[in-house]
């Protein structure tokens, strides 16, 4: 990263922070060489806005990285106050479209002549976001209408500079805020960095679309737009144009003869299949990203934000769902421990009671209409209170399910999400109880045991070799060692004083018997001095012991 560009971007950040009344954060970044006073007069214009509104406005003005970081935090209603969450959910990744020389840009990026590939190319963008613009075109070879998603030139450098500055900001927040340290902001920034790098790569998005298409290759309920790799790159994505109905447009759906109630259940089924069958799910399924074709097939778009689970993670998630359905709270907690990135629970019995109370609230007849958002908020709050940090896919999944629930309630207000999810829990339970599954898992366990035992002789030999070469080092820590050292030190000090007192007392007594001049009241002065010093030292020991007992 060019230092000059980072410095310029930092100056912009400082300007916005001061403008919206956050100059104290700017001052703590050790950037006094940037002149901030010239922005002070801008504070007044934001006076009527509360602090949460000013945070949202500052993030929007700072650009794509900050907007998306705020959007990620908008799912953490267990960490942030409700008014701030409300503002963060209002963050919009919308900007004014820029005028580009499309033929020149495509010629440079794809090494093509526009007139040879496209019979039509609309120079006006149909959508504009902070990281890309979208154009409509038609392929000459087959007449297929397509959309071209084109990344903004130079956006990578802006994002990289913003990420570096964010790391500086996180360091400042962690230094001055206990809340920032407890929220694991640095870990969240690392997750965000991976996410935004994926979103910046249109090749990654192309691969996600193709993987999604493979997962639903034989589906009669889902349609996935085609990708044209010949006209795509890391900065350009060419894909089939979808002319469908937005899933939230109830009037248009009914006019097409599509039953919203049936569509709501189909959408939930499709999303649960993504999660439980494929372990690869859409991370941002809001109504603007889901369309419906005239034959009622569902189309997802915008695959830059996808959640992905490795097979062991998917299996742990299935276990968690199954144990929750069965009410087996201890096994739920054991599954959580395996799943969590950080699990530092001080009182597992208290955690068990909290999760039990949540499950009772969900299954109780008077609370059947509790939504996913409410359930996830309760779970995330319990996790935070017990210092449990889950992988990024878990929070992405919670957000995705909450969005799907919102769409389901819009399409079918009477839809009971808890009842709709029950068949999936039963399916998992049956799968876990099937002889084939038990046999497979037993075989895996036996293989693990065999491999461990097979490696044992080699591991033992390496240990013995290290011992024989005097290379084995043992690190140990004794709790309370500092207190023990202090106690021994004080005890030795007292013992030394006691020896001195005894010596002085014996010496003084010998002097008295020797009748050594000079004398005071017919007693040698030197012996009197010895007795006085012994008495003072003895008093010191008595006071020290008395204080220790208190």
What are the structural domain ranges in the chain?
94-241, 246-433, 434-475, 481-549
pLDDT tens per residue across span 505-524: 777 676 666 667 777 667 67
pTM (two decimals): 0.72
How far apart CA 226 and CA 146 sit, in angstroms, is: 9
Give residue 365's pLDDT band: very low, low, confident or very high (50, 70, 90).
very low
Please state, in angstroms and rounded to a whole number, the distance separating the CA atoms of residues 367 and 287: 27
pLDDT for position 26: 58
Q: How confident is the model at residue 128 (pLDDT cuts 50, 70, 90)?
A: confident
pLDDT exceeds 70 at position 253: yes
Question: Each residue of 56-103: pLDDT tens digit?
Answer: 888 888 888 888 888 888 877 777 788 888 888 888 666 678 889 999
**Which pLDDT score is estimated for 271?**
92
Question: Does residue 479 surpass a pLDDT of 80?
Answer: no
pLDDT of amino acid 182:
67
Using CA atoms, how far apart are residues 427 and 407, in angstroms rounded to an integer?
Answer: 24
pLDDT for residue 291: 95
Q: Which of 77, 78, 162, 284 is catalytic?
A: 284
**What residue has token string 């902001």?**
185
458 an active-site residue?
no
How high is the pLDDT of residue 35?
45
Give the total residue count for the chain: 550
CB-neighbour burial class of residue 348 (10 A; exposed 0-12, middle 13-18, buried 19+): middle
Q: What is the percent of the chain where pLDDT is above 90?
A: 27
Residue with tokens 């007693």: 523
Least confident range of 64-78, 191-205, 444-458: 444-458
Q: Is 227 in a helix, a strand, or coil?
A: strand
Burial of 517 (0-12, 13-18, 19+ CB in 10 A): exposed
**Quick check: 15 pLDDT over 90?**
no
Instruction: Find how far residue 413's CA is from the centre of its chain.
Output: 32
Q: Which of 61-65, 282-286, 446-450, 460-464 has the lowest mean pLDDT?
A: 446-450
Asked if the model's pLDDT at residue 294 lies above 90, the reply is yes
**Is 263 a residue whose pLDDT tops 80?**
yes
pLDDT for residue 212 is more than 90: yes
pLDDT of residue 209: 95
End-to-end CA distance of the chain: 62
- What pLDDT was estimated at residue 120? 93
Q: What is the pLDDT of residue 74?
A: 81
Q: What distance in Å separates the CA atoms of residue 502 and residue 129, rounded to the nearest whole number?
A: 88
Helix (H, G, I), strand (E, B) or coil at 17: helix
The C-alpha R_g of the chain, in whole angstroms, comes to: 35
Average pLDDT over residues 315-332: 86
**DSSP character at residue 368:** T
Pairing of strands 523-524, 245-246: unpaired
User: Given pLDDT bands bounded at 50, 70 and 90, which one contains residue 223?
Assistant: very high
Average pLDDT, integer, range 178-188: 71
Q: Is 441 a residue whose pLDDT tops 70? A: no
Q: For residues 117, 123, 124 and 130, what is the CA-based torsion angle, rounded to 10 degrees?
A: 80
Distance CA 162, CA 174 (A): 18
The pLDDT of residue 255 is 93
Average pLDDT of the chain is: 81
């Amino acid at each position: 990263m060019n230092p000059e560009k980072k410095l310029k971007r930092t100056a912009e950040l400082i300007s916005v922070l001061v403008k919206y009344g956050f100059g104290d954060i700017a001052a703590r970044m050790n950037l006094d060489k940037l002149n901030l006073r010239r922005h002070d007069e801008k504070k007044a214009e934001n006076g009527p806005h509360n602090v949460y509104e000013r945070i949202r406005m500052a993030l929007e003005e700072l650009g794509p990285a900050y907007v998306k970081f705020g959007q990620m935090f908008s799912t953490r209603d267990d960490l942030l106050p409700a008014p701030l969450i409300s503002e963060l959910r209002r963050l919009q990744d919308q900007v004014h479209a820029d005028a580009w020389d499309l033929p020149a840009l495509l010629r440079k990026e794809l090494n093509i002549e526009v007139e040879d590939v496209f019979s039509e190319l609309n120079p006006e963008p149909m959508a504009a976001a902070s990281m890309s613009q979208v154009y409509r075109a038609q392929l000459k070879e087959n007449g297929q209408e397509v959309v071209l998603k084109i990344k903004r030139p130079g956006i990578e450098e802006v994002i990289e500079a913003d990420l570096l500055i964010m790391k500086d900001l996180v360091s400042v927040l962690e230094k001055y805020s206990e809340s920032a340290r407890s929220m694991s902001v640095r870990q969240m920034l690392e997750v965000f960095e991976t996410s935004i790098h994926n979103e910046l790569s249109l090749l990654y998005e192309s691969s996600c679309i193709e993987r999604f298409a493979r997962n639903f290759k034989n589906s009669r309920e889902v349609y996935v737009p085609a990708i044209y790799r010949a006209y795509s790159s890391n900065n350009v994505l060419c894909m089939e144009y979808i002319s469908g109905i937005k899933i939230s447009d109830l009037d248009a759906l009914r006019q097409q003869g599509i039953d919203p109630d049936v569509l709501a259940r189909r959408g939930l089924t499709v999303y649960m299949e993504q999660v439980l069958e494929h372990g690869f799910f859409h991370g941002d399924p809001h109504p603007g990203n889901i369309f419906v074709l005239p034959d009622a097939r569902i189309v997802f778009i915008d695959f830059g934000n996808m959640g992905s689970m490795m097979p062991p993670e998917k299996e742990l998630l299935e276990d968690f769902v199954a144990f929750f359905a069965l009410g087996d709270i201890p096994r739920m907690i054991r599954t959580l421990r395996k799943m969590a990135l950080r699990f530092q629970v001080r009182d597992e019995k208290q955690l068990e009671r909290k999760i039990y109370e949540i499950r009772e609230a969900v299954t109780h007849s008077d609370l059947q209409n509790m939504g996913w958002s409410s359930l996830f908020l309760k779970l995330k709050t319990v996790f935070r209170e017990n210092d449990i940090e889950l992988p990024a896919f878990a929070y992405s999944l919670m957000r995705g399910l909450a969005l799907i629930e919102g769409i389901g309630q819009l399409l079918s207000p009477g839809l009971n999400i808890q009842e709709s999810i029950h068949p999936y829990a039963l399916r998992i339970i049956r799968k876990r109880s099937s002889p084939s599954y038990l046999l497979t898992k037993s075989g895996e366990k036996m293989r693990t045991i065999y491999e461990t035992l097979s490696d044992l002789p080699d591991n033992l030999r390496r240990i013995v070799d290290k011992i024989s070469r005097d290379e084995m080092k043992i690190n140990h820590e004794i709790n309370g060692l500092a207190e023990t050292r202090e106690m021994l030190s004080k005890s030795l000090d007292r013992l030394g004083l006691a020896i001195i007192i005894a010596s002085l007392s014996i010496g003084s007594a010998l002097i008295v018997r020797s009748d050594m001049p000079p004398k005071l009241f017919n007693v040698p002065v030197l012996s009197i001095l010895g007795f006085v010093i012994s008495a003072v030292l003895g008093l010191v020991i008595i006071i020290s012991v008395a204080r220790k007992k208190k």
